[in-house]
Chain A
């Protein structure tokens, strides 16, 4: 079956880089996503990468995809206290009928001043 795994916690100092890692299982996934969830809020789409890409950069965010190892990472440069949140990795799974999103349990990022 499908599964997405993430480490549960990450703590960094303000100004450092953060790297959040994710592994997924469905080799047929075409899109992989990173969502951010702040306390009491819904999910905010940060970025996504198509499976035929190795890297995508968007301002402070860099996504790296290793299809061979089914490993996805999100790097946040110059991490700020406002980046403190839970980050969810998701794959678009085609084992069901219409490409549903399968989410990991989320990585809680804590940024210390």
Chain B
């Protein structure tokens, strides 16, 4: 069974630029999560989808971050405009029933 796929693996941009990350969850997993992991910290949830609907986006900085999961499968997370403090690893995870989340390899973002 294929795991959670993410791309790109690495991205370097300048502040005020925009960037987008893509995630393909494990087949059949209805729930998809985006986490932000700042260096030296544990992951922090940004947004949770159930199929194509948003369940929880209370931690998402909505002035600059947006995410969508239009067809209930793949998801895209966008940052526009990026700030220095957005430098982090962005992790996507998926789950079938909610008890167990499986993580992708992450996208490492560096904002200069």
Residues on A lying within 8 angstroms of B by beta carbon are 4, 31, 35, 40-45, 48, 88, 90, 92, 96-101, 103-106
Contacts and interface: CB of A to CB of B under 8 A. Distances in A.
A42 B104 CA distance: 6
Contacts of B106: 41-42
A96 B100 contact: no
Interface of B: 4, 6, 40-45, 48, 50, 55-56, 58, 91, 93, 98-106, 108
Contact of A101 (B41, B50, B101): B101
A44 B4 CA distance: 11
Contact of B103 (A42, A97, A99): A42
B58 A43 contact: no
Contacts of B58: 96-97
A44 B104 CA distance: 9
11 contacts: A4-B42, A41-B106, A42-B103, A42-B105, A43-B43, A45-B103, A88-B43, A96-B58, A99-B98, A101-B45, A105-B41
